[in-house]
Amino acid sequence: MTDDDCGSVFNQPVYLIQGQHILIIHFRSHKLAVGGAFRLALFLQLFHLFYHVGMILPFCFYENPVTDIYFGLKPGYEELAPEMVAYADEQMPIKAGEQQLILFGGQTALISAAEKLGYRQVYERFDMQLDFEEGLDYPLPEGFHFVKPEEYDMDKIGKCCWKGFDHEETEEPWNHQHEQANYLIQTAPHSTAELGVIIADGQGEYACYAGMWWTPQNKLAYMEPLCTIPKYF
């Protein structure tokens, strides 16, 4: 993805610190948040809110996998960082001795607190932001079409995701694996499956799928999953 492809794009370096791990994401604004649809309910009781004078300021939570630990810390309350990191280190899920703390690059107090507990950086990547002020106008190639929401086929969605995330390459051909998980995603309490975008080829096979979650109460939209089957890369 380049500036010419999609208008204003902001590169965001991301770092992963392992052993115990830290993943550091540099966002331009502290107001940006990590959202996710795939949180296993088994450990929800470990989500931790930190209070100060009756206000909720920081928040410690996991994502997928449950050993990816995130933090929300309001600027100006960095003195709570050591307590937050200590909580994550002691209470959040660990699998086979592995746990990773995923931090925004601007969360210097959290990074410092994690390093004092022995966490170390081992990985860096770039995330991107697309400025929708520029608008999007990319016509489909000949032979492809958008699938109407009332015509969505859950089996075809499952097959598209299986292929699109390279499971056929790394595991086995599609054979209706994880149908129950796909059903749960489509019927979750805040699911807005009708807002997803599906592109099919001339034979009706789903070539691309972009799921969309939208909660108007807090004006949060989250696109997940997003995939294209390998033959159309």
Asked if CATH classification 3.30.110.40 holds for the domain at 145-232, the reply, yes or no, is no
Q: Render pLDDT for 78-114 as a digit per residue (tens, 0 to 9).
A: 888 999 899 889 888 887 777 888 887 788 999 999 9
Tell if the pTM clears 0.85, that is, is over it. Answer: no
Count CB atoms within 10 A of the CB of residue 198. Answer: 21
H/E element, 5: helix 3-6
Classify residue 87 as exposed, middle or buried by CB count within 10 Å of its CB (0-12, 13-18, 19+): middle
Residue, of 199 and 56, whose pLDDT is higher? 199
Q: Left (φ > 0), alpha (ψ -120 to 50) or beta: where does 63 sit? A: beta
Banded model confidence at residue 187, pLDDT cuts 50, 70, 90: confident
What percent of the chain has a predicted confidence (pLDDT) above 70? 75
Is the pLDDT reported for residue 232 higher than 90? yes
Banded model confidence at residue 51, pLDDT cuts 50, 70, 90: low
Is the pLDDT reported for residue 229 higher than 90? yes
| Cβ partners under 8 Å of residue 76, min gap 6 | none
Domain ranges of the chain: 3-130, 145-232
